[in-house]
Amino acid sequence: MNPSSLSARDKQILWHPFTQHGLEQYPVEITSAKGAYLFQSDGSKLLDCTSSWWVNIHGHGHPALAEALKRQALQLDHVLFGGVTHEPAVRLAERLVEVTGLAGHRVFYSDNGSTAVEVALKAALKHQRNRGLPRNTIAALRGGYHGDTFGAMAAGGSIGYFDKADLNAVPVVHLPVPHRAADAPLDEESLTLLGQCQSMLDEPHIAALIVEPLIQGAAGMRTHSIAFMRALLEYARQRGVLLIVDEVMTGFGRTGNMFALQHLGVVPDMLCLSKALTGGILPLGATLISGEVFDSFKGPDFSTALAHGHSFTGNPISCAVALESLHLFEREQTLQRVLRLEQFYRERLLPMATQIADLPPPRLLGGIFAFEVPGMDSRYGNAGARGLISWFLKRGLLLRPIGNTLYLMPPFCVGDAELALLEGALHEFVNELR
């Protein structure tokens, strides 16, 4: 490796996320991006099969998003959001309430998915205190993941990514849940686990239930039955437990609908959004909170207020780009592109993946396709996963397996050439496994 190369310089000075630097080799050098492709320093291109960690939906370098960014930056780049407002923040909040169908909800801005969850957890616990109720514990689904800040880590502590010493910031109980296809009925095991979850939600100290609706991303794209999820959320509501739906990954078309909650027909008390909120080109988080919860924070002094905020809360540029991303869904019929991608998975990739013996069924939902690789360690960052990354890089695809789960989540702009590349590489891979 040339000591003056970008990768060599990186290796001397940077600390990358979710990376064991005692094992990691030189990082891939990316110099530019366009559409569904990332371009390396040697001029070769890689298909962005993870949408750059689940954020990019319209494709890289989309001119409409770039123009919205430029236009807003020249007009108003940033201003504090305490006691100040501006058109992009207000208009985006109006549109988010509109497209989610959550009339009466308020929008609290932050800067990423973890902080969007943190706002929800903090608001849920303070809401219960403001009401004088002894509800101080969050219920979460076993295997869920909600981010890397302390409250979000505690909610996702059962996934096994974090040190136990870091998980004591918020009291959390983890509910046992079955993993089934979205359209699966309530079988005997599901009913048994549902009963266990209901018993845990009966405890008087449960303040809120947080869920990833329909699919747990970081757990290996594990899907939930709509029937199970709906029954669980409805029971929580009956018990006075706030419902927090974490759509940081599933929002903005990933599951085939604009939001996964639309599969469920349940109105949450809080909805957490980020990742694809801006089309994947700028950081922005948003937590939609019901009017009832919002009203509990009103009072004669600051003691009942939500003492939370970020320097870049409501950043005008991010809000303007998010608005343009929502416009693109209409102009480019983005959800139709997701349905086309799902059909491709079902007709071309699912038959191949099901040929691999002794594995759980592949998962397919909207723009997401996933299956386990036999003989691989299921722990995150294992040697087999690093080998898979290298194997696919040589074939022009950038993937990042989760444990022993190989998944595809490309930008929705992929066309016939990109789908053919995916199919060819997966066909070769499956043949090597058989």
Closest C-alpha among 338, 403, 331, 398 to residue 368: 338
Q: How far is CA 286 from the centre of its chain?
A: 13
Mean pLDDT of 240-258: 97
Does position 211 have pLDDT exceeding 50, yes or no? yes
Q: Which residues contact 375 (CB under 8 A, 6 or more apart)?
A: 384
- The DSSP line for 398-414 is E---BTTEEEE---TT-
The domains of the chain are located at: 6-58+334-433, 65-329
Q: Rounded mean pLDDT of 383-404? A: 92
CB 411 within 8 A of CB 34: no
Given the candidates 3.30.390.50, 3.30.70.140, 3.40.640.10, 3.40.190.10, the CATH classification of the domain at 65-329 is: 3.40.640.10
The percentage of the chain sitting over the pLDDT mark of 90, rounded to a whole number, equals 82
Which helix (H) or strand (E) segment holds residue 335: the answer is: helix 334-344
pTM comes to: 0.94
- pLDDT classification of 116: cutoffs 50, 70, 90: very high
| Beta-carbon count within 10 A of 329 CB | 19
Q: Comparing 6-58+334-433 with 65-329, is the CATH topology the same?
A: no
Write out the E strands in 97-197: 106-110, 137-141, 172-175
Report the range of poorest mean pLDDT among 159-168, 259-268, 300-309.
Answer: 159-168
Distance CA 210, CA 275 (A): 18
Q: Is the pLDDT of residue 410 over 90?
A: yes
Give yes or no for residue 166 having a pLDDT over 50. Answer: no
Q: What is the pLDDT of residue 363?
A: 94
CA-to-CA separations, 30 to 6, 7, 54, 391, in angstroms, rounded: 10, 10, 17, 18
146-155, 212-221, 364-373: segment of lowest average pLDDT: 146-155
Nearest to 88 by CA among 325, 330, 329: 325
Helix (H) or strand (E) holding 207: strand 206-211
Residues 6 or more apart whose Cβ sits within 8 Å of residue 47: 36, 37, 38, 396, 397, 398, 410, 414, 418, 421, 422
R_g over Cα of the chain: 22
Residue type present at position 1: M
Tell me what the mean pLDDT of segment 75-103 comes to: 97
DSSP assignment of 39-51 equals EETTS-EEEETTH
Q: Measure the CA angle with vertex 208, ends 205 and 209; round to 5°.
A: 120
Q: pLDDT tens digit string along 55-72?
A: 999 999 999 999 999 999
Determine the Cα–Cα distance for residues 64 and 327; give it in Å rounded to an integer: 10
Query: In terms of CATH architecture, what is 6-58+334-433?
Result: Alpha-Beta Complex (3.90)
